[in-house]
Structure 1
Amino acid sequence: MIVRLALACGLIAATVAIQAFFMSAGLSAFRQAEKRREDVLIRYPTFVTVAWVIYLIIPIIVDVGLWAAFYYFSQALPSLEDALYFSTVTFTTVGYGDIVLGKDWRQVATFEAVNGWIIFGWATALMMAVIQRLYFRADNEARPGAHGE
């Protein structure tokens, strides 16, 4: 049991690293766009928001896949399809309960749920920060005198 929980902690560390990498790269690209393509950000904030949200879903898919691979290769679940489904409903904290882990594995699933809660909270905070920045910029550009006029 201790080994499984240690592996679960390792998976949390890996998913946090994946999320941090994607968020850092995404913010870097956003900052570059602010410098070089500010006109696009001002004219198309909804498009940029949608692109940003889709971009932030990519590491979440990777995270879910990592957990699913762990369940499958550890033989906690019989098929990769079951592992992906179980991992998705656990990471999102939906938890339907139609597929469950054996008694020896149940505690590991709680680690994945906590992991998903942390990652989704982090991604949501970053989504809101970018959305506020986009729409604050658009509002400022729409005001008379926004460019020192």
Structure 2
Amino acid sequence: MAIAAAQRFGDRFLNDHRMLRLVAFLTGMTLWMVAALSIAVWLWAAAFMMLGVFRLPEDALYFAAVSFTTLGFGDVLLEKPWRLLSGFIAANGLILFSLTTAFLIEAVRRVYQAEE
């Protein structure tokens, strides 16, 4: 399907500066959102380190990333007094991923609205 779409619309896509601007805009916005989500993961990892939950920053960052994305591999676990934090970080991740998705959709809507 991707090849068929590229053959059908490829020339128009490459010659349409508006489409290239939209792609560049979306790429920039997506990278900005990924950076913001990464900062949130680093903040959780820093909180784990400050609380003394993990001794190694790598473990704190790994656990924060796995929990934030709700993967929850289970190979690194929190001790019993801190287990509830894993639920909070997962909920935080779900909310922030939803907000970034909504933000990107709204950004695209506004770009299209401005072009009309």
> With structure 1 as the length reference, what TM-score do the two structures score?
0.61
C-alpha RMSD of the superposition: 1.9
Q: Contact conserved, 1:86 with 1:99, CA < 8 A, in 2?
A: yes
Q: Contact conserved, 1:92 with 1:113, CA < 8 A, in 2?
A: yes
What residue number does 2:106 align with? 129
Distance 1:43 1:63 in 2: 30
Query: 1:1-12 residue pairs with structure 2 within 5 A?
Result: none
Query: 1:54-133 residue pairs with structure 2 within 5 A?
Result: 54-133=31-110
Residue ranges of structure 1 left out of the alignment (5+ in a row): 1-39, 141-149
Question: 1:136 deviation in Å?
Answer: 4.7
Confirm or deny that 1:48 pairs with 2:25: yes
Distance 1:42 1:137 in 2: 14
TM-superposition CA deviations, 1:75-116 (whole Å, max 9, x none): 211210010010011111111111111111110111111111
What residue number does 2:3 align with? none
Residue ranges of structure 2 left out of the alignment (5+ in a row): 1-16
Q: Flag as ranges the 4+ runs of structure 1 deviating above 2 A.
A: 40-43, 132-138
Q: What is the letter of the counterpart of residue 131 of structure 1? A: V
Distance 2:76 2:43 in 1: 18
Percent of matched pairs sharing the same residue: 32
Quickly say closer, same or farther: Cα 1:69–1:42, change in 2 above 3 A.
Answer: same
Distance 1:97 1:42 in 2: 43
Q: How many residues align?
A: 100
Q: Contact conserved, 1:72 with 1:83, CA < 8 A, in 2?
A: yes
Secondary structure of 1:85's partner?
helix
Quickly say closer, same or farther: Cα 1:83–1:134, change in 2 above 3 A.
Answer: same
Distance 2:77 2:112 in 1: 43
Q: Contact conserved, 1:72 with 1:78, CA < 8 A, in 2?
A: yes
Distance 2:41 2:77 in 1: 16
